[in-house]
Structure 1
């Protein structure tokens, strides 16, 4: 990053990251600010490495609404530390730790001078139960744990080979990375929870298919049966513990709507837009289902999210294309 004016250097950095975060220097005058970032596209994963001075990061509902991405940001802190609040869940990542942020939800953080390796990963790529994915915002994988060391080594190796990787290698490596990330993030939720979070292959395949098609109005039990060659009775047995496949689809759509409710704005048509993004064919059907599950109309939450009594954002306990263009331009912007 060139230029002798510290504010000019920081402004260059801030503009480069503006699509994802609002940045501010920790010091009143960033006299010695530096920032370096390089990125690689390994479809469908984005890989980046950065080194920067201490600063504050903020991702609010306006930035979430501007992009509407459904990705996870997974960061290995190679040096430094980061204290953060992930939508009400406060924690800290230290050198060696791996932290996961859900880019569909707000967060703030304050870092020291920090060096990171980062992955931006589509949510549906991870082999985790949907309820586990929804609870990963702010999850910290201890860098001293076995899974932490293994995943850290993998991320560093991935960064070293990325410049020379071809498209075929990239697809294979991303598949392997998805499996390792899934195991590592399951471990971050607690060793006792891992057997319940990682799913059996047959259930996993169907659930991943459902997750990838939640916004498809044609998604139904019949569509799942045709895709996997299952009889109605076999599909029923598979999803009986979850209340049946139709109910499972409805609940997943409602959960996604709850997590994305801050991304559609508050103006005219916001409820209809949220219904459409969540896979509901009509605003009326969506409103009825949302009220039935959460005890409040979606319009009330959109108009006053803080004052909506009884609203907890549909979350459990505390625990796209534009991204490709953004990442591709980062190296030139902030070297």
Structure 2
């Protein structure tokens, strides 16, 4: 993994980094949070590669892999509250989800819901993609289809694909200070394209459900604001306090929802940048925790480790360790999985 205080975190994994002997095992470990994978041939490939960038809570990737089978099963789908956008640059894929079947061809844009099971068989392929939390684009598994496709022959498909390629080309140079704007802009574009995919009868949604989703999305975009509370939501959405309480009752209230989302974002940020002096305090203050000791207690209660331990554990698992040592020892390539499990 590479990162500094200026550019967004990134990962590169290929045979030049881990050695050909460990290439497939490293690939399998990296994607285990979302897929069970099996090679289509008896011989393990030595050509798998991953480049990935962490943009706020979006994970963009550029991957190449040999012919193999993918399965996103119930065990993996249990808490997978995000969608995957994929564009094949080369190769092909045949997938199934329930009674739905699809074919993936180069240039088409496919969106999959990772809260549901599906499987696929792919040829040797190169694919760009992005993992996105449901709430960032207003995706609702109860209303939206499990699979959405935009043909590469249509203006919409071409526009979305060109946006993805343009963004990926810039990610190696994107600064952390620019991450929020780029993430929000991309999600707004995608949300505008996903919403029309609803069946006609679903477009007249319950107003309360829409308002609740809008408030959750607003909170997730503004977790760094120390003034987030019930009154803040009442002003922004012109809504009564009892209504706000009702929308967040299942989460234990607005304050509890905000704290839990902030803690999750804190773990996400600590796991993404190597630990340095003052990092924990910086993350805590950046997410509205003015009392570092209180933040540490809440963090440990939720994750079982202190913020500093989480940062150190993350740093210990970086791919920057000596390559010879990587080839000789039992290898743990879990950084990408940690990113995925954090969103």
- What TM-score do the two structures reach when normalised by structure 1? 0.59
Q: Residue 7 of structure 1: CA displacement?
A: 7.3
Within-5 A mapping of 1:63-212: 63-65=76-78, 68-127=79-138, 130=140, 134-186=143-195, 189=197, 196=203, 207-210=213-216
- Gap regions ≥5 residues in structure 2: 1-13, 221-229, 254-263, 274-313, 321-332, 335-343
Residues 250-303 of structure 1, C-alpha deviation per residue, up to 9 Å, x if partnerless? Answer: 9xx9xxxxxxxxxxxxxxxxxxxxxxxx6489xxxxxxxxxxxxxxxxxxxxxx
Q: 1:197 to 1:95 in 2, by over 3 A?
A: farther
Change (3 A) 1:163 1:193: farther
Contact 1:143 1:149 in 2 (8 A): yes
Distance 1:24 1:109, change over 3 A: same
Asked if structure 2 preserves the Cα contact closer than 8 Å seen for 1:55 and 1:112, the reply is: yes
CA distance in 1, matches of 2:47, 2:162: 26
Report the TM-score when normalising by structure 2. 0.58
Aligned residues: 246
1:15 paired residue number: 29
- Alpha-carbon contact 2:96-2:102 (below 8 Å) kept: yes
**2:87 is paired with a residue of what secondary structure?**
strand
After superposition, where does 1:19-30 map in structure 2 within 5 Å? 19-30=33-44
Conserved 8 A contact 1:127-1:178: no
- Deviation, structure 1 residue 178: 0.9
Cα deviation for residue 213 of structure 1 reads 7.7
Partner of 2:61: 48
Cα separation, 2, equivalents of 1:330 and 1:21: 21
| Structure 1 unmatched ranges of 5 or more | 215-220, 236-244, 254-277, 282-319
Please report the RMSD computed on the Cα atoms of aligned residues, expressed in angstroms. 4.4
Which of 33, 42, 52 is the aligned partner of 1:39? 52
- Is residue 39–residue 330 contact of structure 1 (8 Å, CA) maintained in 2? no
Residues 96 and 222 (structure 1), Cα distance of their counterparts in 2 relative to 1, 3 Å cut: same
Alpha-carbon offset, residue 40 of structure 1: 0.7
Q: Is the 8 A contact 2:85 2:131 kept in 1?
A: yes
